[in-house]
Amino acid sequence: MTEKTSHATVDDVAALAGVSTATVSRCLNAPDRVTAATREKVMTAVRALNYTPNFGAKALASKRTGIIGAVVPTLENAVFAHGVDAFERALAPGKFALLVASSGYEAGREKRQIEALVARGADGLLLVGFDRDPAIYDWLALRKVPYVLAWSSGESHPYAGFDNLSGMAAMVGMVLELGHRNIAMISGITSGNDRARDRLEGARSAMAQAGLSFCGVREVAYGLESAAGAFSALMADRRVTAVICGNDVLAAGALRAAHGMGLRVPEDVTITGFDDIDIAEITWPQLTTVRVPHSRMGEEAARLLQDLIAGRPGESVLLATELVRRGSHAAVAGAGILP
Amino acid sequence: MTEKTSHATVDDVAALAGVSTATVSRCLNAPDRVTAATREKVMTAVRALNYTPNFGAKALASKRTGIIGAVVPTLENAVFAHGVDAFERALAPGKFALLVASSGYEAGREKRQIEALVARGADGLLLVGFDRDPAIYDWLALRKVPYVLAWSSGESHPYAGFDNLSGMAAMVGMVLELGHRNIAMISGITSGNDRARDRLEGARSAMAQAGLSFCGVREVAYGLESAAGAFSALMADRRVTAVICGNDVLAAGALRAAHGMGLRVPEDVTITGFDDIDIAEITWPQLTTVRVPHSRMGEEAARLLQDLIAGRPGESVLLATELVRRGSHAAVAGAGILP
DNA sequence: TGCATGAATGAAAGCGCTTACATTTTACCG
DNA sequence: CGGTAAAATGTAAGCGCTTTCATTCATGCA
């Protein structure tokens, strides 16, 4: 019994319980492989010594850490905060813990974060989108680290996401049905961001299907201010009656700019969002947007990744998006269609 | 060189570079204790073998993991998402990684999360508020795990936070100055939440100082709906001209309820928030609130915790809050004071 | 009662790294 | 140049756990 200043070890527990260290280990990791009586003895010793297994030793010997890593662009974006939160809750409690890193939307930083997470022994990884240096996927494969891509469909990789393309196409379809013909779009930065790109593409294809194209498209950084600026610029074209936004924050910024310009929403201009985060219900009018099941997605991603880690096959899931009609859309003035 | 299926180890690198494992280790962890020439040889071997140190072995041998744990109530609350994000960014890159767990505002779950984090070898912990079972602090002290409390002043514990009490007192003081006398409050649940309690206390003391007390106080769960319900109930008392809210989400809910009731803000009723998160600028009118430097706080907490882990003294910081006067407040009707 | 069978347990060999201590090399000075 | 201190490097002993394989024990059946 090393009862000086250091902590109790398996040896201490084994000695006190009068069994071998192997038995102590089994009691803790596979209780059913041990007699109830000995289990009792061991657990008593564990409690008496206030024993906690040493993490490093356990990881070294078992080649598993129980740590799962997640790299998201930023937690400041509610979309990721919610998804990660749901993901974390869906991890088998006590078995896995979540290591979170943010990339700030920088590819280089994301790569470093992934390496850092793997270096810290992550048993698996949650990544956002599939648009990244192929070398990263090769490296992950080489290292045999399972991963799940979320927030988009992952092409050939395992994923838990949704179809940004069709979600946005549906939204544009609705706006078209409302009679709008002069439509502009405020998109997120598409470079290195397949979600933004798919949304833009989906919107464009819906327009094309109606034989139209956007009056104007602006790619702006995530944030109220940049969206507000883009909105004013876009509305310089007086014909525009609807502005499609790549996400709710952009839409909220556009909405604010509209108020500032004295425009009534939706009477003068229709503004739509994407994501359906909390703010969609706080703006005035409330945002018409595309609901994305962020929490559900987080759960599915957790399930899938845990399957993969356990060596089970695991199936990717593509969740459905849903149009949420609130107050920021209306039929184009002079057109007699849906309210 | 164990070049079968397994990964390269220090031994492989040492052999290839023609040095001892000790030198390899030094190259990686204390490069300046090694000649430039040998360092070059070793790094070349490292690259050639695609070597990455084994995490478990490293943790076991060095008794350090480079993992810092954080337990927050939920990432769904922007306040914590921002704080954690800033905290993570302020961690020495490459040296520390962040393990995040959420407690869902449940004390029992928080305790388990803390234990899980420590069991995973966390070198230090970030906790929210100081209101928790003292046994947890004892346990942490016994385990010698440094920690920092954030989002409130930490009493005798190391902390990086702000004074919720005086922040709210200032807000109520301002409302009082505007001539309001019949004031109600919507507070967060105070049980087990020192932030909510301090805000309520701060508000009450400011009222008391003016010889007044609230017309009504409601404690509600975090969320738009519950705040909306509380607002309607509180406004049943027709005398009420101002409603102080414990945080911005509550205020946004109250605002929405006000719109629903046909009340004009701020003409008919003044509504104030606390935190100054993004939504404060999205509501209509924009929220008058108390700005809390969440990001700055995250950074300070990271700094402090890293000091503590390194064995340096480390100083707690109390950040200042600031009144942000936007559009949701006004002088009480019939009173001739500040706009 | 004896023996085959499977479950429970024990002995001990690593897992891959860091680090105290020993040894060698280098640098500097008289 | 020899001698010494300091810097660089090597040796090898763990760190605390899991796990394979061997051993012991309990059980059921002939």
Q: Encode pLDDT of B39-67 as tens digits.
A: 999 999 999 999 999 999 999 999 999 99
Residue B1 has pLDDT above 50, yes or no: no
- The answer, yes or no, to whether residue B129 has pLDDT greater than 90, is yes
Which amino acid residue lies closest to nucleotide C9, measuring CA to C1'? A23
In a domain, B1, yes or no: no
The percent of residues in chain B predicted with pLDDT above 70, rounded, is: 96
- Residue A228 belongs to what domain range? 164-292
DSSP track, B247-278: SHHHHHHHHHHHHHTT--TTTT-EEE-SB--G
Is A325 inside any structural domain?
no
Query: Do A188 and A76 fall within a single domain?
Result: no
Q: How many domains does chain A have?
A: 3
Q: Hey, what are B229's tokens?
A: 């319900």
Return the H-helix or E-strand segment holding A308. Answer: helix A294-309
Is residue B4 predicted with pLDDT exceeding 50? no
Same-domain check for residues A180 and A287: yes
Task: Please list, in sequence order, all residues whose beta carbon lies within 8 angstroms of the beta carbon of residue B127, skipping any fewer than 6 positions away.
Answer: B70, B71, B114, B147, B148, B149, B150
Q: Do A98 and B97 touch (CB under 8 A)?
A: no
The pair of structure tokens assigned to A295 is: 């929490």
Is the CB of residue A138 less than 8 Å away from at least one CB of chain B?
no
pLDDT at residue B109, rounded to an integer: 92
- A97 and A241 part of one domain: no
Instruction: Return the bridge partners of A184, or none.
Output: A216, A243
**What average pLDDT does this structure show over B207-217?**
97
Q: What is the spatial distance between Cα B251 and Cα B72, in angstroms, rounded to a whole number?
A: 22
If we measure between CA atoms, which residue out of B283, B278, B221, B219 comes closest to residue B251? B283
Q: How far apart are CA B151 and CA A137, in angstroms?
A: 39
Q: Is pLDDT at B89 greater than 80 in this prediction? A: yes
pLDDT exceeds 60 at position B335: no
> At A330, phi and psi to the nearest 5?
-160, 165
Per-residue pLDDT, B336: 43
Provide the percentage of residues in chain B whose pLDDT is more than 90.
90
Q: Could you count the other beta carbons within 10 Å of the beta carbon of residue B339?
A: 7
| Measured distance CA(B39)–CA(B56) in Å, rounded | 24
Report yes or no on B327 lying in a domain.
Answer: no
Q: Quick one: A19 and A75 in the same domain?
A: no
CATH number at A32 reads 1.10.260.40
CB-CB contact of B9 with B2 (8 Å): yes
Domain co-membership, B256 together with B298: no
Q: CA of A228: which chain B residue's CA is closest?
A: B282
Among B82, B4, B16, B2, smallest CA distance to B44 is for B16
pLDDT digits (tens, 9 = 90+) for B152-196: 987 799 999 999 999 999 999 999 999 999 999 999 999 999 999
**Strand, coil or helix: A68:** strand
- Up-side HSE of residue A105: CA atoms within 13 Å toward CB? 14
Q: Which residues contact B108 (CB under 8 A, 6 or more apart)?
A: none
How many CB atoms are located within 10 Å of the residue A63 CB? Answer: 11
Looking at residue B311, its pLDDT comes to 87
B112/A121 CB distance under 8 A: no
| B119 near A CB under 8 A | yes
Tell me the CA distances in angstroms from B99 to A97, A101, A111, B68, one per residue in order. 7, 9, 18, 6
**Would you say residue B337 has pLDDT above 90?**
no
Higher pLDDT, B220 or A337: B220
Cβ-in-10-Å burial (0-12, 13-18, 19+) of A241 comes to buried
User: Do B281 and A224 count as a contact with CB atoms less than 8 A apart?
Assistant: yes
Q: Does residue A114 sit at the B interface (CB-CB below 8 Å)?
A: no
Helix axes B55-62, A55-62, angle to 10 degrees: 150
Mean residue pLDDT of chain B comes to 93
Statement to judge: residues A44 and A118 lie in one domain: no
Residues B214 and A174: their CA atoms lie apart, in Å, by 48
**A5: contact with B, CB 8 A cutoff:** no
Q: If we measure between CA atoms, which residue out of A73, A295, A271 comes closest to residue A162?
A: A295
CA torsion angle for B25, B26, B28, B29 (degrees, to 10)? 110
Residue A335 resides in a domain: no
DSSP B73-141: S-SSSHHHHHHHHHHHHHSPTTT-EEEEEE-TT-HHHHHHHHHHHHHTT-SEEEEE-S-S-HHHHHHHH
Q: Is the pLDDT of residue B108 over 60?
A: yes
Mean local confidence (pLDDT), A169-184: 98
Residue type, A163: D
Judge: B98–A94 Cβ closer than 8 Å, yes or no.
no
State, as a whole number of angstroms, the distance between the CA of B26 and the C1' of D4: 26
pLDDT of residue B154: 76
**Each residue's pLDDT tens digit, A276-297:** 999 999 998 999 999 999 999 9
Look at A55 and B65 and tell me if their CB atoms are within 8 Å: yes
Whole-number pLDDT of residue A333: 77
Q: What is the pLDDT of residues A58-67, one digit of tens each?
A: 999 999 999 9
Q: How many CB atoms lie within 10 A of CB B32?
A: 7
Q: Which nucleotide is nearest, taking the CA of residue A60 and each C1'? A: C15
Using DSSP, state whether B30 is helix, strand or coil: coil
How far does Cα B275 stand from its chain's mean position? 11
pLDDT surpasses 90 at A3: no
**Is B256 in Cβ contact with A281 (below 8 Å)?**
yes
CA distance B33 to A50: 39
Query: A297 is written with which tokens?
Result: 């997605």
Tens-digit pLDDT profile for residues B291-311: 999 999 999 999 999 999 988
Quick check: B197 pLDDT over 70? yes
Q: Is residue B328 part of a domain?
A: no
Mean pLDDT of A219-243: 96
- The pLDDT score that the predictor gives to residue A149 is 97
pLDDT band for A154, please (50, 70, 90 cuts).
Answer: confident
Are B144 and B237 within one domain? no
pLDDT band (50, 70, 90) for residue B338 = very low
DSSP structure string for B221-248: -SSHHHHHHHHHHHTTSTT--EEEESSH
B225 and B300 share one domain: no
**pLDDT digits over B9-18, tens only?**
999 999 999 9
User: Which pLDDT value is given to residue A337?
Assistant: 43
Structural domain includes residue B228: yes
Strand ranges, E, within chain A? 67-72, 97-102, 124-128, 147-150, 159-162, 183-188, 216-220, 242-245, 270-272, 289-291, 317-319, 322-324
- Residue B179 sits in the same domain as residue B229: yes
Q: What's B286's DSSP letter?
A: P
Q: Is residue A333 part of a domain?
A: no
- Which candidate in B106, B110, B279, B294 is best for mutational testing of the A interface (most A CBs within 10 A)? B279
pLDDT given for residue A6 in this prediction: 62
Average pLDDT value over all residues in chain A: 93
**Cα–Cα distance, B144 to A177 (Å, whole number):** 65
| A299 and A288 share one domain | no
Residue B206 lies in a domain: yes
- B225-274 confidence digits (pLDDT tens): 999 999 999 999 999 999 999 999 999 999 999 999 999 999 999 999 99
Distance CA A215, CA B200 (A): 52
Residue A88: list chain B partners with CB under 8 A.
75, 100-102
* Domain CATH for A80: 3.40.50.2300
* Opening angle at CA B11, ends B7 and B13, nearest 5: 75
B56 contacts chain A (CB < 8 A): yes
Residues A143 and A90 in one domain: yes
**Residues in A 218-277 with any Cβ partner in B closer than 8 A:** 224, 249, 252, 256, 259
> Tell me: the pLDDT tens digits for A67-108?
999 999 999 899 999 999 999 999 998 889 998 999 999 999
Are both A222 and A123 inside the same structural domain?
no
Contact residues, chain A, for B103 at CB < 8 Å = none
